[in-house]
Amino acid sequence: MLHLNELTFRLGPRVLLERATVAVDKGWRVGLVGRNGTGKTTLLRLIDGELQPDAGDLRLMGRVRTGRLKQEAPSGPQALSDFVLAADRERTALLAEAETATDPHRIAEIHDRLTTIRADSAPARAARILAGLGFDEAAQQRSLSEYSGGWRMRVALAALLFSEPDLLLLDEPTNHLDLEAAMWLESYLVAYPGTVILVSHDRGLLNRVPTKILHLEGQRLLLYNGNYDTFERTRRERLEREAASNAKIQAQRRHIQAFVDRFRYKASKARQAQSRLKLLEKLQPIASVVESQTVSFDFPEPEQLSPPIVSMEGCAVGYEPGRPILKNLDLRIDMDDRIALLGANGNGKSTFARLLAGRLRSEGGRLGRSPKLKVGYFAQDEAETLDLGASAVEHMSRLMPMEPEQRVRNHLGRFGFSGTKADTAAGKLSGGERARLALALVSRESPQLLILDEPTNHLDIDSREALVQALNGFEGAVVLVSHDAHLVELVADRLWLVADGGVRRFEGDMADYRRLLLEQRRAERREARQEREPDKDRAPAESAKDRRKAAAEARAATAHLRRAAEQAEKALAKLQAEKAKLEAALADPGLYERGPEKLTELQKQHAAVEARIAEEEERWLEAQSELEAAG
């Protein structure tokens, strides 16, 4: 479907891609990964035709429709549902033509084409996508202009998904989503009928959606089979093998150099010395991927306080007197707590975070804080509020005016700002670097409580892993709001659900929460179906015999669907086991020493198994959908 051959692209004097080559087949789900600034977004723009390469060839085979999630939020008076429906340009044009067409043959062609593209079901499909991304039925009828930029980006994503391009290009699609919408997007992409290339730093998303990982590093592209964890393991093993080979080469070079140094000027050995010099030129180190310096975080150790550090009894909070968003809050936080806040956007997670941080006052009840409590609060837009003309040292010095410069620099060093990087203006830092600087600023006073509201939006995968390690090593309490399920699972040991105007403890883990959301969505679909299709003809009373007969008929009518789902599930289990064996074989270091034939054979088998898995997943999803529709 997509072929890049010897592709080169320069951005000013900087080379982002140099002779990059890769092929992506139809139906693949590919995760595009690499450090911030390596050119992932640029590559998507090249594929979409917005940019042109400096050299090489980029081809889309056949008539391929591409669709890319851009970073500009839509706006205007249009209703959300109308905006999404308009994304299907062919349907919109055909419906407009149908209003004015007079030729009977053309009218027939229009209606035939509208049937083919499922035009009649389009409003329901658009509504389902918008609902999955957090817009209820009433919200879908409101205009774009009533929403903030983040919510309008959700609408842009909904429109893109609704248009169903053959090649779907997604650049950090979860950045503007809450955890609930991100979970819905995962399931949608797994069942997406086209090809997907996904740029993300969300490890959970990269583990559950892609079947291939495309790594961009050193201006080159390298394709790996499997999800992100498999890629990471395979790449690590390859680098270890290359490091071992390089060590052998370096030992050989030292041995040959010693011979040359010893006998270069001895007449009887001069010819041998010259031949060894030629050999030395050929023994070059393997061109391994150069490992960049890893980022580290190190939150300062806080002074220990007696529990609880925060307690609430009957508290309420809102932005207008007498109109609380959250009320009846009866909670406590201790120094060793690791709490993640769950709940859809708009339910009050950020409001609750501001209450904890002291940015909002409690209305009624009793809010107690330890007298010595220091709070570090990272708001969603914290990195965007930096002075772009000031350096990290200048930012920190403004907040710590009485501290010597060396102490300021020492604290910045905990977050990767040392040497010239600490003196670089914030405007010249990457988004991830600005996020790290904001984390350094909010932790400057060694807080006992860290409140982090979406701290990973601009962090790459390595930086997110470093943040996980730092939070797990932190000696204070953490309250976390994040759409990154991987971060929540590794950091939080307590989950609080923000919903229905309150905050309560959620008894369970993230898997339980996923199941709860799935059950809620099924219940909502059932209710919506019942509202659309009320059973007006049913008699007021129905005998037990009639009910049993109706149930038996319903079971008989759906028996083939249950069998299809069960067969697909069994086939999937076998295929997944087969895939695991193949991936274990591909990860075996000895494989790469046996020649290319066996490797090629295993890769073909792996690709065939993944294709069969995709087919069985589609069969299973189709059977499940029909079963749900049948009630």
Integer Cα distance of 417 and 82 in angstroms: 48
Residue 432 and residue 340 share a domain: yes
Q: Quickly state the pLDDT bin for 296 (edges 50, 70, 90).
A: confident
Kindly state whether residue 123 falls inside one of the protein's structural domains.
yes
411 within some domain:
no
User: Is 413 part of a structural domain of the chain?
Assistant: no
Q: 157 and 170, same structural domain?
A: no
Q: Are residues 379 and 465 in the same domain?
A: yes
Q: What pLDDT score was predicted for residue 214?
A: 93
Same domain (yes/no): 214, 117: no
477-481/449-453 β-pairing: parallel
* Alpha carbon of residue 463 to chain centroid: 14
pLDDT digits (tens, 9 = 90+) for 56-90: 989 888 788 899 987 778 888 889 999 999 888 88
More confident residue, 563 or 340: 340
Domain presence at residue 347 = yes
- Residue 537: both structure tokens together: 């003809």
Interhelix angle 392-399/405-413, rounded to 10 degrees, is 120
Q: What does the alpha-carbon distance between residue 615 and residue 608 come to, in Å, rounded to a whole number?
A: 11
Residues 372 and 254 in one domain: no
Residue 79 and residue 192 in one domain: no
pLDDT at 276 over 80: no
Output the pLDDT for position 538. 45
34 and 206 Cβ atoms separated by less than 8 Å: no
DSSP designation for 119: G
Are the C-beta atoms of residues 143 and 79 closer than 8 Å to each other? Answer: yes
Does residue 10 carry a pLDDT above 80?
A: yes
Check which CATH number belongs to the domain holding 587 and give it: 1.10.287
pLDDT of res. 574:
82
pLDDT exceeds cutoff 60 at 547: no
Is the domain of 249 the same as that of 367? no
Domain count, the chain: 5
Q: Please give the pLDDT value at position 287.
A: 45
Please give the Cα distance from 593 to 410 (Å, whole number).
Answer: 47
Q: Are residues 371 and 488 in the same domain?
A: yes
Tell whether 296 is covered by a domain. Answer: no
| Mean pLDDT across 563-570 | 74
Let me know whether 144 and 205 are in one domain: no
Q: What is the pTM of this model?
A: 0.67
> Mean pLDDT of all residues in the chain?
82
Q: What is the pLDDT of residue 160?
A: 92
* Averaged pLDDT, 148-162: 88
Residue-wise burial string across 150-176, b where 16 or more C-beta atoms lie within 10 A, e elsewhere: ebbbbbbbbbbbbbbbbbbbbbbbbbb
- Categorize the per-residue pLDDT at 286 as very low, low, confident or very high, splitting at 50, 70 and 90: very low
Percent of the chain past pLDDT 90, that is, above it, reads 22
Most confident of 136-145, 300-309, 409-418: 300-309
Whether 397 maps to a domain, the answer reads: no
Q: Which range has highest mean pLDDT (119-133, 292-306, 588-602)?
A: 119-133
Do 556 and 609 have their domain in common?
A: yes
Helical pair 104-116 and 89-100, crossing angle rounded to 10 deg: 150
Please, which residues have CB within 8 angstroms of residue 332's CB and are 6 or more apart in sequence?
Answer: 307, 308, 310, 311, 312
CA-based radius of gyration for the chain: 29
Confidence band of 536 (pLDDT split at 50, 70, 90): very low
Are residues 450 and 511 both part of a single domain?
Answer: yes
> Which residues lie across from 504 on neighbouring strands?
497
In a domain, 289, yes or no: no
Q: Which of 187-196, 239-248, 335-344 has the lowest mean pLDDT?
A: 239-248
Looking at residue 288, its pLDDT comes to: 45
Of 162, 186, 207, the last residue of a domain is 162
pLDDT confidence band for 266 (50 / 70 / 90) = low
Which domain covers residue 31, as residue numbers? 1-65+165-226
Range with the lowest mean pLDDT among 56-60, 311-315, 473-477, 550-554?
550-554
Give φ, ψ of 296 to 5 degrees: -130, 150
CA 177/CA 456 separation, integer angstroms? 12
Tell me the per-residue pLDDT of 332-385, one tens digit each, with 9 for 90 and over. 999 989 999 998 878 899 999 999 999 999 988 899 999 999 999 998 877 778
Instruction: Write out the DSSP string of 514-532.
Output: HHHHHHHHHHHHHHHHHHH
| 220/238 same-domain check | no
- CATH number of the CATH domain containing 175: 3.40.50.300
Instruction: Name the β-bridge partners of 391.
Output: 425
Residue 532 lies in a domain: no
Residue 545 has pLDDT above 50, yes or no: yes
- On the question of pLDDT at 265 being above 80, the answer is no
C-beta of residue 505 within 8 angstroms of C-beta of residue 494:
yes
Last residue of one domain, picked from the residues 208, 226, 244: 226
Q: Using CA atoms in the order 435, 436, 440, 443, what is the torsion angle rounded to 10 degrees?
A: 70
Distance CA 70, CA 173 (A): 10
All residues at 6 or more sequence positions from 277 whose CB lies less than 8 Å from its CB, including other chains: 260
Q: What pLDDT digit, counting tens, does each position of 465-498 carry?
A: 888 888 988 899 999 999 888 888 888 989 999 9
